[in-house]
Amino acid sequence: MLNIALVGCGRIAKRHSELLGLNQIKGARLAAVCDTIQEKAFNIGKNFNVPAYGDMDEMMKKEKVDIVVVLTPSGVHAKNVINLAKYGKDIIVEKPMALTIDNADSMIAACDKNKCRLFIIKQNRFNVPVVKLRKALEAGRFGKLVLGTVRVRWTRHQAYYDQDNWRGTWAMDGGVLSNQASHHLDLLEWMMGDIESVFAKATTALAEIEAEDTAVATVKFKNGALGIIEATTATRPTDLEGSISVLGEQGSVVVGGVAVNKIKTWIFENEEQDDEEVLEKYSVNPPNVYGFGHQAYYEHVVKCIVDGGPNLVDGLEGRKSIELISAIYESIETGKEIALRFLPKKCKLGQA
Ligand SMILES: NC(=O)c1ccc[n+]([C@@H]2O[C@H](COP(=O)([O-])OP(=O)(O)OC[C@H]3O[C@@H](n4cnc5c(N)ncnc54)[C@H](O)[C@@H]3O)[C@@H](O)[C@H]2O)c1
């Protein structure tokens, strides 16, 4: 049984603590929690009968922990992960892993040095329809890839941004691209392959925040395919869509719904036996936009640790999204097309 401790007891910690505290993850249990706002840690600790702390070092020194999960605001993930690495335990960190490429590199280096495995949460990769799409891609059913599109049309009212002072700031969060759409950007690159360059525009349409609430980008992939990114939290009056479309010379798939949870289109030139029932069989209805993926994600982590298997989203894989997000922001700020595999010259994200 792996003992899992949580650092940060805010909104997303509810999902993590329920999964681990209510024995939803075979082979893992909630061992301890901490938050600098002690009351938040005590509330979760009381609900699941586990020790609660106001300081992560005290928790790590006193408790028997196998995996520690970082659920703090995005801008402090790097500082927290680097501090926790010295305990030599495996570390899971919520998305986005960091806000700058330098920070992502320092996290990877600290974990390597202390022999901790680093797991980045990209739970949408484990959505039932997304797994099905990935299998079709790996089986070569699309042939040459032509076009990949992701769309995030979600609703975040001002009250969402106002609940914590880190939300929507350049130093700690960024906008819809680095926060909500980071899942979809990861899916786009995972499905379509490495990116050559991006060109983007953004605006802050409705929210009163430093960063953008609405952005569009065009993408050129190394394999010659093109892509479109459309992301907004200014959709009204309600969440409409979180989707990915993959179009190839031999087939087209659209996974939509509000949380990349429903197969909307599944057509291939060379039909296979189960193609007809795919729409029904591989669509799910999650309770919210986080989807069901956190459960499948934890099951993946437990399997990796117990069997020593491959980690689907390790530090280097998580770093790819940070590079893409930084390049998109650099394009927005400079008005230029930006080539990837670059060193950022200008990008406000992650800077105080
Ligand atoms: N995977 C997903 O779908 C998903 C969904 C929501 C949030 N997230 C990510 O989770 C992270 C947290 O988001 P949230 O909405 O829960 O934020 P939140 O502000 O509600 O919670 C963060 C908590 O961390 C605590 N904290 C800050 N510094 C700390 C420290 N040094 N030690 C211990 N606790 C500390 C804060 O007091 C706060 O309670 C963000 O990076 C966000 O992007 C991911």
Ligand 1 close to Cβ of residue 164 (< 6 A)? yes
Give me the numbers of helices (H) and strands (E) for the chain, helices first please: 11, 14
| Sheet containing 338-339: order of strands | 262-268, 251-256, 241-248, 145-153, 226-232, 214-221, 195-203, 338-339
Ligand 1 close to Cβ of residue 16 (< 6 A)? no
Kindly indicate the confidence band of residue 290, based on its pLDDT and cuts at 50, 70 and 90.
Answer: low
CA–CA separation, 41 and 78 (whole Å): 21
Radius of gyration of the chain measured on its C-alpha atoms: 20
Locate the ligand 1 atom nearest the alpha carbon of residue 40 and give its number. Answer: 39
Ligand 1 close to Cβ of residue 73 (< 6 A)? yes
Ligand 1 close to Cβ of residue 37 (< 6 A)? yes
pLDDT at 341: 75
**First-to-final CA distance of the chain:** 41
- Our measurement of the distance from residue 134's CA atom to the centroid of its chain's CA atoms, rounded to an integer in Å, reads 17
Ligand 1 close to Cβ of residue 127 (< 6 A)? no
Tell the residue nearest (CA) to atom 30 of ligand 1: 36
Give pLDDT tens digits for 11-26: 999 999 999 999 999 9
- The torsion region of residue 123 among left (phi > 0), alpha (psi -120 to 50) and beta comes to alpha
pLDDT at 288: 60
d(CA 73, ligand 1 centre) in Å: 4
Nearest to 52 by CA among 96, 7, 91, 90: 7
Ligand 1 close to Cβ of residue 179 (< 6 A)? yes
Give pLDDT tens digits for 184-229: 999 999 999 999 999 999 999 999 999 999 999 999 999 999 999 9
pLDDT at 262: 93
pLDDT at 191: 98
Q: Which residues pair with 251 in a beta bridge?
A: 248, 268
Residue indicated by tokens 């087939």: 251
